Structure 1
């Protein structure tokens, strides 16, 4: 079988913004001197009058986005996740979240797969930070089709949205003709009765491969794509807990405060079950090729397969 096409979701972000700009004149895109890397340059070329380069001043960029939203525009403020969620956290919290402004934050280069840029740029804490802001929607798409759909959904949603994108090209696992994206509604990619894998972002495709490997051992793993971290699809988590009683969360993010923590909150309160969290353990990343880092930190299909086998024992 031919290898699936691979596209980085940051590329999808840039393409989706350009398409959105054709449909809606109120869309404005802001960047912090990273248009080439975040791929907002695609929008910039098509609509230069609606693209604002705020320079290396992410906190100010969020303030400008807040002002544009207050004036009736729909701004997409774009930078690396480390800067958009980390450096500008106070502005996101106080200038966007508190007044409930219609600002969309496009955070690229998230997670360990940033690669050679190293620990300072590998933001594995952004989902945890954004989850804590009241009213903030947090989206973490798994592939090109889902990323573009997430951008359109973010525009349609009235209120602040945090969108997480990656640097590394990932397999396209969804069919554009049949795919439907709904904020807060997860997607079951594979049926199973022995264990449930709930994944988000880059590890979704790796989790599907791990499920195939488990099937060869006679273990039927259900795979759920949790593209929305907040609001979480609690019904899907409860159903999985009751059906298999064993849940494994997989995320390219710290195991503290991300997808795994969100799932555990639901399980502990509403549907007791065993949970294992796979992600970046309480550590910083390091510089290296993205694919090698994914293997080292246990987010590739083989590692996920082995960890689940151990969990089930």
Structure 2
């Protein structure tokens, strides 16, 4: 009986004391003087993290999603749990909480997902928030790899024939996989020729990117129009603006046909172009250093 009482007292003392590993004089609740080994896992497809994960590396061949565990309460709560996630693939990795939970990246509107481009890394900490729609994960930091001073992104966007398009038209989708641009709308403005005015046929077009939203801060566009047909049509393109709407990036451009304005005696030969072999070369640049 005395031995049991002594063991109980000893365990109670240890549970409230500082613990040292590699030292007899710990200076913190847990003081480790040496290397630290934690759980490591490499995934190549969609995955859900659990109590056995800590440092997770994604090395898949297709864009994938890592889902964090559902938040628990009471004695099952894991407030303070840390996950470290790195994308070493050439694909885009999406990290999201379970259900309708969100991330608390700043004091502004919570984020539903975090996008890790190739080489990026994020550390996440479960905070004390609860509820099905709460921002329950803090992003302590998001890091990107050392890179050149400027990053580049390029795409070729289909240019439709002159006319009105009021909703998404799959005929004019551009790209493959998640690297796809939808044509959302096209608003025409026909040519006008008078004694005091000469204005070409033109269209205002909205494209929507179906991959991860672009960070628009400092993003600069370079746009040109191509023609792979035998038609002599020549176009001028102007940048109308970027916007991030409902989780997607939209690009607005204005296209005008400049080689021919007005019409001839033959109704079919007017500057309202009809070909489908025209396209926009879009190059986006961003200074990173």
Question: So what's the TM-score if we normalise by structure 2?
Answer: 0.28
Say which structure, 1 or 2, has more relative contact order (CA 8 Å, 6+ apart).
1
Larger radius of gyration: 2
Question: So what's the TM-score if we normalise by structure 1?
Answer: 0.27
Higher helix share: 1
